[in-house]
């Protein structure tokens, strides 16, 4: 079994991005600037945003965090998005999800100017990705593809089973794994909560991507010998072994599954750090106007 070490790979990519930012500014380009809007005080969301800010600092990208209380109105958030759309110093904008129930996520996502949509959630970016046109790729699927690429995992002609069909992970990663290209060229099956023979389908997967949010769901008997397993899941679970009283758990029963795998990502230290560097990469691309002029 080999570990797909997202933490190490992401550290390497951060160095590369820092160099690219330096080259860009030395040539007279502007310093990239990422803005993040966060609504409410969900501890997980606050942690994710603080990790993103820290990563920006490390590579020389400026960042701003705009914080709203839980009871902020949809109109207030929309107005802020529009203000940032018009602010030429800000190159990339993310709105941390989930938003409180009274705010329409799709309305907010569609209001972000697609040229600044470094999360890759705007329908223009989603549509362009599906059409094989240059676009901002959503950070988690982008990070997974980069991890596969850097570890030279063969994906062509392989059966890739994806468990989860969300707009931010399952569906886009299915698209990228099945596209013409390397990594890509896989034959993809998407599973979800209504899939009737999920265990059997998983067993036929050369590559399994678990993105459900159900700790330890993928068991040893669901994975074939030599499979590549990518665990996207991050759930806070209680633990008596940590000072905080909780730990992060993935969707894969790691200890039981790992011995059967050719490659597997750990949680934490797998997909999570790759997601953050993909966001940095997108922000730099937005600043350099690599995708939209």
| Active site members | 52, 96, 119
Binding mask 97-136 for ligand NDP (x = CB under 6 A): ----------------------------------------
Query: Does 169 sit near ligand NDP (CB under 6 A)?
Result: yes
Query: Does 85 sit near ligand NDP (CB under 6 A)?
Result: no
Query: Does 137 sit near ligand NDP (CB under 6 A)?
Result: no
CB of 220 to ligand NDP, least distance (A): 17
Binding mask 174-193 for ligand NDP (x = CB under 6 A): -----------------xxx
CA proximity to 281, closest of 136, 183, 150: 136
- Whole-angstrom distance, CA of residue 261 vs CA of residue 161: 14
Contact between 215 and 181 (Cβ < 8 Å): no
Q: Please, which residue, 62 or 195, has the CB nearer to ligand NDP?
A: 195
CB of 198 to ligand NDP, least distance (A): 6
- Tell me which stretch binds ligand NDP (CB under 6 A): 71-79, 82-90, 99-107, 209-217: 209-217
Strand partners, 263: 2, 228
Q: Cis peptide before 183, with omega less than 30 degrees from 0?
A: yes
221: Cβ contacts below 8 Å, ≥ 6 apart: 199, 203
- Whole-angstrom distance, CA of residue 21 vs CA of residue 242: 37
Looking at 10, 39, 77, 212, which residue binds ligand NDP (CB under 6 A)?
212
Under rule CB under 6 A, how many of the chain's residues touch ligand NDP? 25
Q: Please, which residue, 80 or 198, has the CB nearer to ligand NDP?
A: 198
The b/e string for 37-74 (b: 16+ C-beta within 10 A; e otherwise) is: bbbbebeebeebbeebbebbeebbbbbbebebeeebee
Looking at 37, 93, 229, 232, which residue binds ligand NDP (CB under 6 A)?
232
Phi, psi of 153 (to 5 degrees): -75, 130
Looking at 38, 72, 84, 168, which residue binds ligand NDP (CB under 6 A)?
168
Q: Which residue has the tokens 């988690």?
A: 140
Query: Does 258 sit near ligand NDP (CB under 6 A)?
Result: no
Strand partners, 160: 188, 207
- Whole-angstrom distance, CA of residue 280 vs CA of residue 33: 10
CB of 30 to ligand NDP, least distance (A): 28
- Interface residues with ligand NDP (CB under 6 A) are 140, 163-166, 168-170, 191-195, 198, 211-214, 232-235, 271-272, 275
């Amino acid at each position: 079994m080999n570990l797909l070490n997202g933490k190490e790979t992401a550290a390497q990519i951060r160095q590369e991005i820092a160099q690219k930012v330096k080259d860009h500014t030395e040539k007279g380009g502007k310093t990239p600037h990422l803005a993040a809007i966060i609504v409410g005080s969900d501890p997980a969301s606050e942690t994710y945003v603080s990790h993103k800010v820290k990563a920006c600092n490390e590579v020389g990208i400026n960042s701003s965090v705009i914080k709203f209380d839980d009871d902020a109105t949809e109109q207030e958030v929309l107005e802020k998005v529009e203000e940032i759309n018009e602010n030429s110093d800000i190159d990339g904008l993310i709105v941390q999800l989930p938003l409180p129930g009274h705010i329409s996520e799709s309305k907010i996502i569609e209001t972000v100017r697609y040229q600044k949509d470094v999360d890759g959630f705007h329908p223009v970016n989603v549509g362009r990705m599906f059409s094989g046109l240059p676009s901002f790729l959503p950070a988690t699927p982008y990070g997974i593809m980069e991890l596969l690429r850097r570890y030279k995992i063969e994906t062509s002609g392989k059966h890739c089973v994806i468990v989860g069909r969300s707009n931010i992970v399952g569906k886009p990663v299915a698209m990228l794994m099945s596209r013409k290209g390397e990594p890509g060229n896989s034959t993809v099956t998407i599973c979800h909560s209504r899939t009737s023979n999920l265990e059997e389908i998983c067993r036929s997967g050369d590559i399994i991507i678990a993105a459900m949010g159900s700790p330890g769901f993928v068991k040893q008997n669901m994975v074939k010998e030599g499979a590549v397993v990518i665990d996207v899941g991050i759930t806070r679970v209680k633990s008596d072994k940590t000072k905080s009283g909780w730990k992060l758990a993935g969707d894969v029963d790691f200890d039981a599954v790992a011995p059967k795998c050719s490659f597997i990502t750990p949680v934490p230290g797998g997909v999570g750090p790759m997601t953050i560097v993909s966001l940095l990469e997108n922000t730099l691309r937005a600043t350099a106007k690599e995708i939209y002029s």
